[in-house]
């Protein structure tokens, strides 16, 4: 299996245009950079109104699945992806729509859906940032604590930190028990044997 060779660069623009090196693993990226690195995914370049415009502008950098223009990249070159985002209105960050209440009117449980928000397409690049990634700490031990609080406005950096932290058990794992078709010997209880 071929691993993706992510760019090693100081920022997203440099990673997109002229990276210092490319590496699949943190150890290789650290050796290439000569200092600590951190893995980040950031938006790069302008926002495009349609997917077709984004694919045309990023030809050769992202995979194109349109009929007649199909272009596949080598596995190690798949570090740029296209994502659809809600377009900001008036310079403000887009907000999620408010929840709706069921209406039970006219034989329908839910009201007619609101108009879909305007969206834009952005290129997202994953790369090894030189100097380490100044990632924001999540604050809570796990995302479940933040979710239980409810009603709290979580900003993008904090949400990203919550989703990238390793999963932790609620309580320590219990020691393994014997299987369904196993039994302990009466004369030696520390030995487990198959039971037929």
The per-residue pLDDT for 143 is: 65
Convert the pLDDT of each residue in 22-61 to its tens digit: 999 999 999 999 999 988 888 998 999 999 999 999 988 8
Backbone angles phi, psi at 55, to 5 degrees: -65, -40
* Boundaries of domain holding 127: 1-90+116-134
Is residue 38 assigned to a domain?
Answer: yes
Is residue 84 assigned to a domain?
Answer: yes
Q: Give residue 45's region: left, alpha or beta (phi > 0; psi -120 to 50).
A: left
Is residue 153 assigned to a domain?
Answer: no
H/E run at residue 30: helix 26-33
The per-residue pLDDT for 189 is: 86
The per-residue pLDDT for 177 is: 73
Is residue 77 assigned to a domain?
Answer: yes
How many helices (H) and strands (E) the chain has is answered by 5, 7
d(CA 28, CA 95) in angstroms, rounded, equals: 39
42 in Cβ contact with 9 (< 8 Å): no
Which residue carries 């760019």 as its tokens? Answer: 7
How far, in Å, are 35, 41, 129 from residue 27 at the CA level? Answer: 10, 18, 13
Instruction: Locate 132 and state its tokens.
Output: 């380490």
d(CA 158, CA 127) in angstroms, rounded, equals: 20
d(CA 164, CA 167) in angstroms, rounded, equals: 9
pTM: 0.63
* More confident call, 46 vs 150: 46
Backbone angles phi, psi at 126, to 5 degrees: -105, 130
The per-residue pLDDT for 54 is: 93
Is residue 157 assigned to a domain?
Answer: no
Over residues 135-146, mean pLDDT: 57
Number of domains forming the structure of the chain? 1
45 in Cβ contact with 80 (< 8 Å): no
Model confidence at 106: pLDDT above 50: yes
Within a 10 A sphere around the Cβ of 56, how many other Cβ atoms?
13
Nearest to 124 by CA among 3, 37, 2, 6: 6
Chain-wide mean pLDDT for the chain?
82
The per-residue pLDDT for 153 is: 66
Model confidence at 96: pLDDT above 50: yes
Based on its alpha-carbon atoms, the radius of gyration of the chain, rounded to whole angstroms, reads 25
Model confidence at 141: pLDDT above 60: no
Is residue 100 assigned to a domain?
Answer: no
Over residues 146-153, mean pLDDT: 62
The per-residue pLDDT for 21 is: 93
pLDDT bracket for residue 151 (50, 70, 90):
very low
Backbone angles phi, psi at 72, to 5 degrees: -110, 140
Is residue 103 assigned to a domain?
Answer: no
d(CA 128, CA 121) in angstroms, rounded, equals: 23
Is residue 62 assigned to a domain?
Answer: yes
């Amino acid at each position: 299996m071929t691993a993706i060779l992510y760019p090693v660069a100081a920022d997203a623009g440099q990673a997109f245009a002229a990276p210092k090196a490319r590496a699949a693993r943190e150890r290789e990226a650290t050796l290439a950079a000569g200092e600590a690195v951190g893995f980040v995914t950031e938006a790069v370049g302008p926002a495009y109104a349609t997917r077709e415009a984004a694919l045309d502008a990023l030809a050769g950098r992202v995979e194109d699945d349109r009929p007649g223009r199909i272009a596949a990249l080598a596995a190690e070159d798949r570090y740029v992806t296209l994502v659809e985002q809600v377009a900001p209105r008036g310079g403000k960050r887009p907000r999620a729509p408010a929840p709706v209440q069921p209406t039970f009117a006219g034989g329908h449980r839910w009201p007619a859906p609101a108009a879909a928000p305007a969206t834009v397409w952005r290129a997202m690049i994953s790369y090894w940032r030189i100097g380490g990634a100044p990632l924001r700490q999540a604050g809570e031990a796990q995302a479940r604590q933040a979710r239980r609080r409810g009603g709290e406005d979580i900003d993008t950096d904090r949400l990203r930190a919550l989703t990238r932290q390793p999963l932790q058990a609620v309580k320590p794992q219990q020691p393994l028990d014997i299987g369904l078709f196993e039994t302990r010997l009466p004369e030696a209880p520390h030995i487990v044997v198959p039971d037929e």
